[in-house]
Structure 1
Amino acid sequence: MRQHITIKDIARIAGVSTSTVSRALSNSPELSEQTRQRILEICRREGYRVNALARSLICNKTNVIGLIVPEVTNPFYAELSLGIETHARSLGYNVILCNGQNDAKVTEELFGFLISHQVDGIILASSQQDAGTMIQKLAPRLPAVLLGTPALVSGDEVNSVCIDNLAGGRLAAEHLLELGHRDIVYLGNRPNSLTHQLRLRGFTEMMEKAGIIPQVIDNPHGCSSIDIGCALSRKLFANGCSATAIFASTDSMALGVLQAADEYGISIPEDISLLGFDNIIYSALPKIELSTIDQRKQLLAEAAVDLLTRIIDSNEQDEFTHRMIRPTLVSRSSCRAPKK
């Protein structure tokens, strides 16, 4: 097997000192461009790679950030993670992606793992009420950003980026009311999630202004998935559903509604309109065409990375920043005016 190439080997081959090789690798202006290019070419030819650990010990910075999401299989978090990684790389940072599995103990262990690997900062994507407290407890001195839960509302002293879920709920209600719906089901509320509480509050506020009390079906589980959406919808349809529209708390839940509706011979939107929340990539597929509230994932991703890297570079953690982004409505073919 080929031996590991060290900086001393490169210096010997190039006929220069190790400090000269270091200057070439760090783009030092003290070195001529011709010499630098000659050394870099030798590095490429010999397969030399910079020792990231050694460099981090010298610079006290790894240019690596940790990202913890509740479930990587969830399309929303998969797309969000890609946006975070892409934007972070454009700023010179690599990302370690971790799956919290919707488990507080696993998430706590991942904090320890990331801190032990000397990441420069952590983004925690979570909608749980105690997410801010978890950051304060597990990473009190490490730059961190909470993504998905509005710390400004919860009162946690952490930096946060989130969508305006209150406005999103209102937007959903306005759209269905404008279409003429009055008998509407809100499906999939998670009582233990501040994000979902705000989403429901915005929705019910607008409905009550119109003199309507919507039927709310809670999701007792710790996550929102297609399977859960399907199971809740089966119960709804089996008991006889008089509603003309369903607002699903997430697009994944809405996909579960579609599956259950197909099983019960219910046509969407002819028999019942369906509105989701997230605008995941599957929502725009030709046979789905789901109307939804767009969380603007790319903007969320960029805002979280920009905030975290700013904190890392400035090393200022005395004040906390809260960024709230307004969602938008994406109207497709799953919603229409109710039958008369």
Structure 2
Amino acid sequence: MKRVTIKDIARIAGVSYATISRALSGSSEVSEQTRKRILEICKQEGYRTNALARSLTCSKTNVIGLVVPDITNPFYAELALEIETFARQMHYNVMLCNSIHYENNIGELMDFLISHQVDGIILGSSRNEARACLHEYHKTIPSVLLGASISDEDEYCVNAVSVDNRAGGRMAAEYLLELGHRDITYLGFRPSSITHQLRYHGFLRAMEQRGLTLNVIENPENSSSLQAGYQLGKQLFAQGLTCTAIFAATDSLALGVIQAADEFNIRIPEDVSLLGFDNISYAALPKITLSTIDQRKSALAESAVRLLVSLIEQPSNDGYAHHMIRPALIERHSCAALQLTKPTP
């Protein structure tokens, strides 16, 4: 089928090309009656605005790029939806790409998005290499790093939005300690992730301040998936349960631990308490009811989109912005006070 062009609409309407262009752009130089007639003709003929052509004229597409590690990860799926929802409220559409956890893909995706004329890019990544990669593009296109914290001493200056992972780790430890737990396993730590590093350091510091040691099970995979949590959970339970509480570095890992616990006939929280981090939607399901540290995805998404839009619409060379979101504890039913789970004889 032949694609209807703006010149076809002008011929049918009996007006000039310029009049059609003004009517579609909302110009006050065209009467409301003429505009309505032109819009009705466009609808009847199936005309669609050529966004790429308009972007070449206006140097703006009102499209932002979003790169996440893996959309099948519930956290990133929910975060992407929050970003798209808020972006639309600010009159921007979102073009989504997955890096599939490989940092060498990020540069290719950045180039791809730039070649498709996006106005700015949000890069969701917790890996250490993401900062260096985004730093290479900061003079080319407005960009925001979402997920990894930035320190004042960081050699790679980028605009960033992150949850306060150190505070979240401390919050998790203090909650379990208040419940009376002292033998705690930290499950799923990934050294390659800066968010995991900060989360771990916050948790460890709270333990050390009470003179306690922490059993750590590292995750050798490059993602914190349910399958990884299941394998790590089986590894822990096969050795015999000695801890009274488990802190899973993400909710997806915690869901895997729940699966492994079921196979080993270990009850949560009667035999062991389990705390996650992220507050994905699955955590609230009736048969899961996972207590967790909430990353406040809506606040992260709004902060990232607002920051990126401000960089697009009001370019500035006044430095870099870093917005930190404080996490929150969500208490459900997967953690219990120690005296309730293992009574003293």
Instruction: Report if aligned partners of 1:190, 1:219 keep a CA contact under 8 Å in 2.
Output: yes
Q: Give the TM-score normalised by structure 1.
A: 0.97
Deviations for 1:67-95, whole angstroms, at most 9, x for unmatched residues?
11011110000000111111111211111
Deviation of 1:139 (Å): 5.0
Q: Give the equivalent residue in structure 2 for 1:169.
A: 169
**Given residue 20 of structure 1, which amino acid in structure 2 is its aligned partner?**
T
Deviation of 1:138 (Å): 4.2
Instruction: Report if aligned partners of 2:167, 2:202 keep a CA contact under 8 Å in 1.
Output: yes
Supply the distance in 2 between the matched residues of 1:237 and 1:267 (Cα, whole angstroms): 12
Supply the distance in 2 between the matched residues of 1:119 and 1:250 (Cα, whole angstroms): 32
Deviation of 1:284 (Å): 0.2
Map 1:35-74; keep pairs closer than 5 Å.
35-74=34-73
What secondary structure, in the 3-state scheme, does the structure 2 residue paired with 1:305 have? Answer: helix
Unaligned 5+ runs, structure 1: none
Instruction: Report if aligned partners of 2:106, 2:133 keep a CA contact under 8 Å in 1.
Output: no
Identity, % of aligned pairs? 61
Q: Give the equivalent residue in structure 2 for 1:102.
A: 101
**Given residue 160 of structure 1, which amino acid in structure 2 is its aligned partner?**
A
Deviation of 1:231 (Å): 0.8
Deviation of 1:235 (Å): 1.1
Q: Give the equivalent residue in structure 1 for 2:290.
A: 290
Greater mean alpha carbon deviation, residues 153-162 or residues 143-152: 153-162
Q: Give the equivalent residue in structure 1 for 2:328.
A: 328
Unaligned 5+ runs, structure 2: none
Supply the distance in 2 between the matched residues of 1:324 and 1:154 (Cα, whole angstroms): 16
What secondary structure, in the 3-state scheme, does the structure 2 residue paired with 1:152 have? Answer: coil
Deviation of 1:190 (Å): 0.6
**Given residue 315 of structure 1, which amino acid in structure 2 is its aligned partner?**
P
Supply the distance in 1 between the matched residues of 2:234 and 2:5 (Cα, whole angstroms): 63
Supply the distance in 2 between the matched residues of 1:154 and 1:53 (Cα, whole angstroms): 40
Deviation of 1:315 (Å): 2.0
Instruction: Report if aligned partners of 1:311, 1:317 keep a CA contact under 8 Å in 2.
Output: no
Instruction: Report if aligned partners of 2:103, 2:129 keep a CA contact under 8 Å in 1.
Output: no
Q: Give the equivalent residue in structure 1 for 2:18.
A: 19
**Given residue 280 of structure 1, which amino acid in structure 2 is its aligned partner?**
I
Deviations for 1:207-247, whole angstroms, at most 9, x for unmatched residues?
11122111111112211011111111111111112100000
Deviation of 1:317 (Å): 4.2
Deviations for 1:240-290, whole angstroms, at most 9, x for unmatched residues?
121000000000000111011111110000000000000001000000000
Q: Give the equivalent residue in structure 2 for 1:157.
A: 157
Q: Give the equivalent residue in structure 1 for 2:303.
A: 303
Instruction: Report if aligned partners of 1:185, 1:246 keep a CA contact under 8 Å in 2.
Output: yes
Map 1:1-340; keep pairs closer than 5 Å.
1=1, 3-138=2-137, 140-152=139-151, 155=154, 156-338=156-338, 339-340=342-343
Aligned residue pairs: how many? 339
Supply the distance in 1 between the matched residues of 2:231 and 2:91 (Cα, whole angstroms): 44
**Given residue 312 of structure 1, which amino acid in structure 2 is its aligned partner?**
I
**Given residue 66 of structure 1, which amino acid in structure 2 is its aligned partner?**
G
Deviations for 1:284-328, whole angstroms, at most 9, x for unmatched residues?
000000000000001111111111011000122441100000000
Deviations for 1:47-80, whole angstroms, at most 9, x for unmatched residues?
1111111100000111111111011110000000
**Given residue 263 of structure 2, which amino acid in structure 1 is its aligned partner?**
E
